[in-house]
Structure 1
Amino acid sequence: MEFSLDRDESHHLTDERATVEVTERDGAVIVTVRGKVLYDTLTPLSEAVSRLADRPATRVVLDLSGVSMCDSSGLNLFVRTRSELTSSGGWLRLAGTRPLVDNVLHITNLDRILPRYDTVEDALSA
């Protein structure tokens, strides 16, 4: 399946326990995730960000305000995505992380390399 994001276009990828919506705003791609980011629900998010990482200088905000849980496979995907995006001149920012996800990022020290913002708007204007 080919991926392109035209103006005012969004893409939805769904697992029964996770939903991903990809939109573009202010020169960045907003990936909105709802549900649980776990090993067995990761496919929609993984597919969305892998398509974005193929584009040069892509700026991505992961809106995690609708994510209630995140396991090590999700953290691994965040780190891998950050690495791929920064190597091509882009960046990855997390927005709206809830306390449980914040705690996991802090415990693993990933909060040092994955910038977090309260809202998508804050992430876009940083």
Structure 2
Amino acid sequence: MTAVDATREPVRVAAQASLSVLSRPACTIASLEGELDIATVPELRERLLGLLGPGVRLLIIDLSGVSFCDVAGLAVLIGTQRRATARGIVVRLAAPRPQVLKLLRITGLDHRLTICATLADALPTVPQGM
């Protein structure tokens, strides 16, 4: 096999991402882990959109476990927010790692998405006196 032949063979890369969900009365927390890239986003997109059901008012996407994000990952975040907004659901991104936060800032998405420094900051606040 020559170097030219080697570049023609498709490279198989294992998708490395997971999503766990915690449903609370006031919100749903989707914790993402791994890489948000073209290999992992099709399944993650379906699972995130599946969380936008009746009764959900706040979806928190915990990014603290995301080690890498590319344009496909950003598209999933924006698409999820758009669908959620159309259904009256608020989306907050929580605890992105520095490299993911930098990507959100460089692309200007930090002005379109609600980004909270920690998961605790993203949780709904309980009014005083309750």
TM tier, smaller: 0.7 to 0.9
Between the two proteins, the alignment pairs up a number of residues equal to 112
CA contact (8 A) 1:57 1:88 kept: no
- Dislocated runs of 4+, deviation >2 Å: 53-58
Q: Which string of whole-angstrom CA distances, capped at 9 and with x for unpartnered residues, describes residues 88-112 of structure 1?
A: 1111100010011001100110000
Aligned-residue RMSD, C-alpha: 1.7
Q: Equivalent residue for 2:112? A: 113
The 5 Å alignment of 1:4-83 reads: 16-55=15-54, 57-83=56-82
Deviates further, 114-123 or 63-72: 114-123
CA contact (8 A) 1:20 1:45 kept: yes
Work out the percentage of aligned pairs sharing the same amino acid.
34
Larger radius of gyration: 2
**Structure with more strand by fraction:** 1
CA contact (8 A) 1:56 1:90 kept: no
Deviation of the 1:43 alpha carbon: 3.0
Q: Equivalent residue for 2:97? A: 98
* TM-score for the superposition, normalised by structure 1: 0.80
* TM-score for the superposition, normalised by structure 2: 0.78
Q: Structure 1 regions of 5+ residues with no counterpart?
A: 1-14
CA contact (8 A) 2:26 2:124 kept: no
Q: Structure 2 regions of 5+ residues with no counterpart?
A: 1-13, 126-130
